[in-house]
């Protein structure tokens, strides 16, 4: 009876834990709706508009270590509530930002929400692992990631419905974000309260001895960190420009509200690919699957760059399907065979989402060059996937060290 009760309790806790994956997944893909909306509201070029992703994903680089220190101080359970409260406060900042029609204040709200997401990501994975038998831990993680992908698929549909549209005044356009983000804040606060009352098993961090070796001596980690950063940057950049790209007359000429529906297809491809990938990886090595996926992404973007109309549109959207396994495979290859150095290596890889801050900004700068434009700016994510293909084919060498790199 005790085991049954404990199993039921764990299932309930796990169901709530998947909400954390859902929340931060939805927040990330809602940025793709804010980009075209704020571009029109503040009459900005692409470089200025990409400050949205720069501020959001920059938080992953700036706040990863402080978030880990906070969790060590207050514990994992309180860390969940802290992360959710931070997200809620960031979302509420959209109210004064809307009233003042202030782009910097909107950006600060996004940075604050991203900080909350960083805290949740530091906490969530260890909890998902211990909420059940060890032999099914990978299955639980895969399911939680699937819920995350579900959120990235659904959020743009709702965001496009409630935020995008034709507005008579800037005040009306700014006010359009109030409802969705106040709703997000209230939802985050409610879940924070539930977790504060919930009894969860304690997560005990493994003792870590000081390792004198510089883990960057490992070739697969050094190049893997670059590959992971480029992957996040390419994935975010493609999603960020979907609405504007599909609005181009020579592509699809869609208005913003209709184009927003296609963001869901891009992220939905990632969700489908994630579940398919988990089955494929049982029979095919992670290195080979990563290489094939990178090669497919390069080929699809090459079609996008050299074509117009619906062919360019669908080839770009199809990249989402091959993005699905890249994060997990690059991460796994980067730490493969590192043994006692795995934790230290993981601490470096957790900084990789900074690519989501840098690459969209760089693509925006390319798009603003008249001789290049938005269409040809997709050469940047193509180069990113080419490097990932190189890493899968030649860059990954398990356990190989560079003696020239020292502590």
Task: Pick the closest to residue 271 from 145, 158, 138, 120 (CA basis).
Answer: 145
Torsion (CA) 357, 156, 370, 309 in degrees, nearest 10 = 140
Contact 157, 261 (CB under 8 A): yes
Contact 72, 205 (CB under 8 A): yes
Half-sphere exposure of 235 (CA within 13 A, CB side): 30
Calpha distance 265→34 (Å, rounded): 17
Contact 397, 219 (CB under 8 A): yes
Q: What is the token pair recorded at 162? A: 């409630």
Return the number of other C-beta atoms located less than 10 Å from residue 24's C-beta. 23
Q: Rounded to 5 degrees, what are φ and ψ at 81? A: -60, -40
Per mean pLDDT, which range of 26-35, 178-187, 348-357 is the poorest? 348-357
Max distance between CA atoms of the chain, in angstroms, equals 71
Calpha distance 160→201 (Å, rounded): 39
- Mind listing the pLDDT tens digit for each residue in 137-185? 656 766 787 788 889 999 999 999 999 988 989 999 999 999 999 999 9
Across 123-131, average pLDDT: 73
Token look-up 């040809």 returns 376
Give the helix/strand (H/E) hosting 204.
Answer: none
In angstroms and rounded to an integer, the radius of gyration of the C-alpha atoms of the chain is 21
Contact 197, 79 (CB under 8 A): no
pLDDT surpasses 80 at 304: yes
The pLDDT-based confidence of 108 (bands split at 50, 70, 90) is very high
Across 369-389, average pLDDT: 97
Q: How far is CA 387 from CA 263, 326, 362, in A?
A: 25, 12, 17
pLDDT surpasses 90 at 133: no
Q: Higher pLDDT residue, 137 or 263?
A: 263
Calpha distance 60→27 (Å, rounded): 14
Contact 325, 281 (CB under 8 A): yes
Calpha distance 1→266 (Å, rounded): 46
CB neighbours of 256 closer than 8 A, spacing ≥ 6? 36, 37, 40, 160, 164, 165, 243, 247
Q: Pick left, alpha or beta for residue 75 (phi over 0 → left; psi -120 to 50 → alpha; otherwise beta).
A: left
Across 200-212, average pLDDT: 56
pLDDT surpasses 70 at 343: no
At 2 the pLDDT is 41
Give the helix/strand (H/E) hosting 59.
Answer: helix 51-74
Percent of the chain surpassing pLDDT 70? 88
Across 173-199, average pLDDT: 93
The pTM (predicted TM-score) of the whole model is: 0.85
- Mind listing the pLDDT tens digit for each residue in 51-77? 999 999 999 889 988 888 888 888 888
Calpha distance 41→171 (Å, rounded): 9
């Amino acid at each position: 009876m005790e085991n049954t009760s404990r199993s039921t309790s764990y299932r309930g806790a796990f169901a709530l834990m998947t909400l954390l994956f859902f929340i931060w997944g939805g927040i990330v893909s809602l940025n793709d709706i804010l980009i075209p909306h704020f571009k029109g509201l503040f009459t900005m070029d692409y470089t200025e508009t990409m400050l949205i992703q720069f501020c959001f994903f920059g938080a992953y680089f700036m706040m990863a270590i402080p978030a880990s220190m906070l969790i060590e101080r207050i514990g994992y359970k309180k860390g969940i509530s802290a992360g959710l409260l931070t997200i809620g406060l960031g979302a509420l900042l959209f109210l004064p930002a809307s009233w003042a029609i202030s782009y910097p204040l909107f950006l600060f709200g996004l940075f604050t929400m991203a900080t909350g997401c960083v805290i949740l990501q530091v906490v969530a994975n260890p909890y998902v692992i211990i909420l059940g038998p060890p032999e099914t831990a990978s299955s639980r993680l895969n399911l939680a990631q699937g819920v995350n992908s579900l959120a990235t698929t659904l959020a743009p549909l709702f965001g496009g419905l409630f935020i995008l549209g034709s507005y008579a005044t800037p005040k009306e356009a700014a006010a359009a974000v109030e409802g969705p983000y106040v709703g997000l804040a209230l939802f985050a606060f409610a879940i924070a309260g539930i977790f504060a009352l919930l009894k969860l098993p304690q997560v005990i961090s493994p003792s870590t001895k000081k390792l004198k070796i510089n883990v960057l001596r490992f070739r697969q980690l050094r190049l893997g960190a670059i590959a992971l950063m480029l992957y996040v940057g390419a994935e975010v950049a493609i999603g960020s420009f979907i609405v504007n790209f599909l609005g181009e007359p020579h592509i699809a000429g869609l208005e913003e509200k209709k184009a927003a529906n296609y963001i869901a297809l891009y992220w939905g491809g990632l969700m489908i690919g994630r579940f398919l990938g988990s089955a494929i990886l049982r029979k095919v090595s992670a290195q080979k699957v990563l290489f094939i996926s990178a090669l497919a992404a390069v080929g699809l973007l090459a079609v996008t760059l050299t074509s117009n109309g619906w062919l360019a549109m669908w080839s770009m959207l199809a990249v989402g399907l091959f993005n699905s396994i890249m994060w997990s495979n690059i991460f796994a290859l980067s730490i493969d065979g590192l043994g006692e150095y795995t934790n230290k290596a993981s601490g470096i890889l957790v900084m990789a989402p900074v690519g989501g801050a840098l690459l969209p900004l760089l693509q925006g700068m390319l798009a603003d060059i008249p001789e290049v434009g938005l269409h040809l700016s997709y050469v940047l994510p193509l180069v990113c996937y080419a490097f990932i293909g190189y890493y899968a084919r030649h860059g990954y060498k398990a356990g190989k060290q560079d003696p020239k790199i020292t502590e």
